[in-house]
Structure 1
Amino acid sequence: MSDNADTPTNISLSASVSESLEYKTVSVFLVLLVCGVGIVGNVMVVMVVFTTRHMRTPTNCYLVSLAIADLTVLVAAGLPNVADSLTGTWVFGHAGCLGITYLQYLGINVSSCSITAFTVERYIAICHPIKAQTVCTVSRAKRIIAGVWIFTCIYCMLWFFLVDIQVGQDGHVQCGYRVKRDLYLPIYLIDFAIFYVIPLLLAIVLYGLIARILYLSSLPNQSETSATTLRRSCREGPESSGGKGSRPIRSGHSSRKQSHITALDPCLIYL
């Protein structure tokens, strides 16, 4: 009975090991694929804006900030996950635990702030185009981006004191929380409010105003367009038909019938 009882256990263990290997292989491949495509794409965005002079616009400045923030997240979050999947333990030490956690939250928060600044810039450019000529400048965009990065760098320093290396009873090393997770709830709520709720509400309001302006901006009516076209064709008609420098010659017979022709030909109204 003991042999029969042990056999299914061994089969289940071997099956779980094979599933774990397959899971690690697929997860590592997907993480490397996403990180590779994301890193190449964001690096190309930064290089194009930096090397092309006419691409240095306020909008592209915010896109460069967003691209750098995404690169930070891809490197700080993707590559450690690959190492953890391959080795099964944390291999970057105490300094790596602090630095990688800091960079992860830094990239996420800067991305949110960059998108918010980009949204405000688009709102001013579309809804207030005259004011945008003096407000939406490259120098001002650079100052806003610098302020965003400085504020977020200082704010995220809190995570230097919230994470640490933890060693389990089996010798497994991981980068985790220094205190109980219940104590992190206020921090997560503040992050959620500052970097998600407020930017989301602001984006909804501003894009709603942008959509309203674009929807209410009246295009020329069909009647006005046809009248303008008729007026233009009537003005250009005599010159094109008579050639350059030619003048229409009116006989006495045509002069006597001018009033009748005017009633029949609408072009004469604009002559």
Structure 2
Amino acid sequence: MTANVSSRIDTTTNISLSPSVAVYESLEYKTVSVFLVLLVCGVGIVGNIMVVLVVVTTRHMRTPTNCYLVSLAIADLTVLVAAGLPNVSDSLTGTWVFGHAGCLGITYLQYLGINVSSCSITAFTVERYIAICHPMKAQTVCTVSRAKRIIAGVWMFTCVYCMLWFFLVDIQVSQDGHVQCGYKVKRELYLPIYLIDFAIFYIIPLLLAIVLYGLIARILYLSPLPNHPDTSATTLRRSCREAPDSGKGGRQVRPAVMFSSRKQEHCSYHHKDCKNVA
């Protein structure tokens, strides 16, 4: 009796798992997955390339803020290319086709783009905080040359930091002959690396962004609103209408001003008669 129950359970489990495997290997699944990956990567690549071209080719667009946006766009391009190609090949072939060097390089580029994106957003947040909350200091601190140096430092630091992944991944061949790009050692050894990566490139930028944007919101909320433009324009028009009519001799001022302007015009054309006219 117990053997019959166990056989039924095993049969039910096998039946429930077999359709999922068939779905992943079906032509419909591969077509839809490849189409979605190409759509997302294509739109992202075109959009980020346009951002870079607009900022680079237009002189007045070369501002500190746009420099950080260019760095972010290049980082996003790196992630889209490094993550999109493996997904397309995995969906079509079901195996790793880029070899050992491709496994190292693609993994490195994926983490490089993600980490640079986080650092670029953090630098952009700090620049916006200085520009809004300390506008006088921003004239000397928030410059294009300084932004370029910060971006270069971010990329150099991240490039060196992500070299660790060259020693952590490798290709693996399963029993059925499928080649995959995976971990080189046990997954438990990756926990400290993931925690450090998570803290440096997610927790710290997130907390810093919350604090700085909170200060920006406080400054914008407490700053007085400018006067309504219609009020100043109405006051100006009212003063212009009342000025000629104010006072007892208000109507006599206008002819005198007109006579003086005409006399100066006459003198400009007849220099010899200026003394006589005066």
Q: Normalised by the shorter chain, which TM-score bucket?
A: 0.7 to 0.9
- Is the Cα contact below 8 Å between 1:39 and 1:71 reproduced in 2? yes
Task: Identify which of 158, 162, 165 aligns with 1:159.
Answer: 165
Query: Gapped runs of 5+ residues in structure 1?
Result: 1-8, 249-271
Residue in structure 1 matching 2:126, options 120, 124, 130 = 120
Cα distance in 1, alignment partners of residues 255 and 19 from structure 2:
99
Counterpart code for 1:167: V
Q: Secondary structure at the match of 2:254?
A: coil
Match of 1:106 in 2: 112
Deviation string 1:180-199 (CA, Å, 9 cap, x unpaired) is: 00100000000000000000
**Structure 2 gap ranges (5+):** 1-13, 246-250, 258-278
The structure 1 residue matched to 2:25, chosen from 20, 23, 36, is: 20
Give me the whole-angstrom Cα distance separating, in 2, the residues matched to 1:46 and 1:230. 45
Call closer, same or farther: CA 1:229–1:63 in 2, change over 3 Å. closer
Q: Is the 2:68–2:120 contact (alpha carbons within 8 Å) kept by the matching residues of 1? A: yes
- Pairing partner for 2:254 from 245, 253, 259: 245
TM-superposed deviation, 1:98: 0.2
Over 4 Å off, 4+ runs: 12-16, 228-231, 239-244
The TM-score normalised by the length of structure 1 is 0.80
SS in 2 for 1:166: strand
Question: Structure 2: how far apart are the matches of 1:140 and 1:126?
Answer: 17
Distance (Å, rounded) in 2 between the aligned partners of 1:16 and 1:149: 41
Calculate percent identity across the aligned residue pairs.
80
Count residues in correspondence.
Answer: 237
SS at match of 1:90: coil
1:132 aligns with 2:138: yes
The equivalent residue for 2:50 is 44
Q: Is 2:244–2:254's contact at 8 Å kept on the other side of the alignment?
A: no
Which residue of structure 1 aligns with residue 236 of structure 2? 232
Q: How far apart are 1:24 and its partner, in Å?
A: 1.6
Q: CA deviation at 1:244?
A: 8.6
Of 218, 221, 230 in structure 2, the residue corresponding to residue 212 of structure 1 is 218
- Aligned in 2, Cα 1:235/1:203: closer, same or farther, shift over 3 Å? same
Aligned partner of 2:91 in structure 1 is: 85
Residue by residue over 1:161-220, the C-alpha shift from the partner in whole angstroms, topping out at 9 and shown as x without a partner, is 000011111111000000000100000000000000000000000001001111111114
Q: How does 1:162-181 map to 2 (within 5 A)?
A: 162-181=168-187
Q: Supply the AA of the counterpart residue of 2:124.
A: F
1:12-67 CA-to-partner distances (Å, cap 9, x unmatched) read: 96896366322221111100000000000000000000110000000000000000
Partners of 1:164 and 1:186 in 2: CA distance? 19
**Conservation of the 8 A alpha-carbon contact between 2:122 and 2:209:** yes
Q: Return the alpha-carbon distance in structure 2 between the equivalents of residues 116 and 69 of structure 1.
A: 14
Letter in 1 for 2:25: S
Is 1:58 the counterpart of 2:64? The answer is yes
Q: TM-score, normalised by structure 2?
A: 0.78
**SS of corresponding position for 2:192:** helix
Query: Aligned letter for 1:232?
Result: L
